[in-house]
Structure 1
Amino acid sequence: MKTLTSIIVLTLSVFFGNAQESEEKGQTITVTIENIMNNNGQVLLTLHNEATFMKAAPLKSENSEIKDGKVSITFKNITPGTYAIIALHDANNNNRMDFADSGMPKESFAVSNNPVLYGPPQFAQAKFNVTSENIEMKLMF
């Protein structure tokens, strides 16, 4: 009986130990935006590497309802590397950026590092490194 109990305890400790390790792999990136013009729609965030930035589907995406002109969104389990974030205030909940006939965006957007943009965002302006620390950043629309 002692042997069976020991085996069960050992098995459970290995299972819970591995489960905890898998939950803790990678870092988190928490993005806060506090200057949203209104509470209409949602904010969409996309995480990119250089190969996907403005070219392909994001590595990860998250969205959040807006409360009092603010959102806070966290990407979890991010492996070390170089990334950029694109944020969109999707005011009409159509899950995409809307453009005027002139080609200018109708909805507010931002990219990581909050660069002053004169044209489409570039990865070089928005990139940041994820290392062994969690990241917290603020974006401005």
Structure 2
Amino acid sequence: MKTFIKSIAVAVILGFISTFSFAQNKYTVTVVIKGIQQRQGKIYASITNDANSFPRGGGVKSAIAEVTKEGEVSLKFEGLLEGKYAIVLYQDLNDNKQLDMNGEMPAEPFGFSNVTMLMGPPSFDQCMFDVNENKVIAIGLMAF
């Protein structure tokens, strides 16, 4: 009986140790969109930690925010693990759920984390930021 109780105690202790050693904190990144000129449509955003798929590939998470007639527009990415991430977003003015292009140039407002001016498509390294706590990030919309 003592062996049985010891076995159960060891199993319970190992269960707690494995739970604590493999548990990772999850964080929320709140994005505040700045520079909205046209108060219509929706903002579509994607966050990724994959440099190879940025900026065109699918993200780790996506979010959508309705553009309001006035006031601040924001959206959230919740449940993110610690790491390096980058965000790309665009304002869908005509509700077709895609970024319209005019040749090689975006025809609708768009933005990237950590980028305020462009000289061509930005890299993941230019846009990345560390997620190791809950964060609020401002992204300004750009238009051509």
- Interval of TM-score (by shorter of Structure 1 and Structure 2): 0.7 to 0.9
Percent identity of paired positions between Structure 1 and Structure 2: 33
TM-aligned CA deviation for residue 121 of structure 1: 1.9
Larger Rg: 2
Q: Which stretches of structure 1, 4 residues or more, deviate above 2 A after TM superposition?
A: none
1:89 maps to amino acid: Q
Residue 74 of structure 2 aligns with which residue? 72
Q: What residue ranges of structure 2 are gaps of 5+ in the alignment?
A: 1-22
TM-score (norm 2): 0.75
Q: Is the 8 A contact 1:36 1:69 kept in 2?
A: no
What is the number of equivalent residue pairs in this alignment? 117
- 1:45 match: 45
Q: CA RMSD in A?
A: 1.8
User: TM-score, with normalisation over the residues of structure 1?
Assistant: 0.76
d(CA) in 2 for partners of 1:105, 1:25? 37
Distance (Å, rounded) in 1 between the aligned partners of 2:56 and 2:109: 20
What are the equivalent positions in structure 2 for 1:33-112 lying under 5 Å apart? 33-49=33-49, 50-67=51-68, 68=70, 70-100=72-102, 102-112=103-113
- Partner amino acid for 1:138? A
Aligned to 1:117: 118
State how far apart, in whole Å, the 1-side matches of 2:139 and 2:56 are.
21
1:51 is paired with a residue of what secondary structure?
A: helix
Quote the Cα distance in structure 2 between the aligned partners of 1:55 and 1:64.
Answer: 20
